Amino acid sequence: MVQTNLEVRWYVIDAGGKVLGRLASQIASRLRGKHRPEFAPHTDVGDHIIVVNAGAVVLTGNKVLQKEMLRYSGYPGGLKRIAYKDLMKNKPELVVEKAIKGMLPHTKLGRKMAKKLRVYPGPDHPHQAQNPEPLQLD
């Protein structure tokens, strides 16, 4: 069933000073559309989300020092470990994207929902034409 009369909304979320996991779970819920009355698990009724200031997101405890992102090439000895301390310095948008995408369904529908997420390390974004509304999360 295809929703044709669905109103698409754009939101801007300022991630500065927010805890990564709590921010990611609330954004994933918005991307899925769980806040809407017409939500169904098999349809994509979520909103477009723009996250700014991803470089100022906070990891609690010692996660900045202890947590690592793993990449495996498929070859022997091809495991790459990147500390979150380095990721937060070089690619903070990747940290936020990875946290949010991990909370979406791991299916075709989840990949479609993930395309509606845009993350930027600083306070600027190129989506002014969509008239995004600021969204305050708890």
- Domain carrying residue 14: 10-59+91-124
- Rounded Cα distance between 13 and 136, Å, is 7
Residue 5 placed within a domain = no
Q: Give the DSSP per-residue string, 112-138.
A: HHHTTEEE-SSS--S-GGG-PEE----
The pTM is what? 0.92
| CATH number of the domain where residue 43 is located | 3.90.1180.10
What's the chain's length in residues? 138
| Cα 92 to the center of its chain, rounded Å | 11
Q: Which pLDDT does position 6 carry in this prediction?
A: 83
Q: Which residue has the tokens 């991630």?
A: 15
According to the model, what pLDDT value does residue 4 have? 64
> Which residue shows structure tokens 């969204």?
135
Whether residue 80 is contained in a domain is answered as: no
Residue 37 lies in a domain: yes
Q: Is residue 38 part of a domain?
A: yes
Average confidence (pLDDT) per 10 residues, the chain, 138 residues: 76 97 98 94 96 96 96 97 96 97 97 97 96 93
Say what the pLDDT of residue 138 is: 77
Please name the residues in contact with 67: beta carbons below 8 A apart, sequence gap of 6 or more: 59, 83, 84
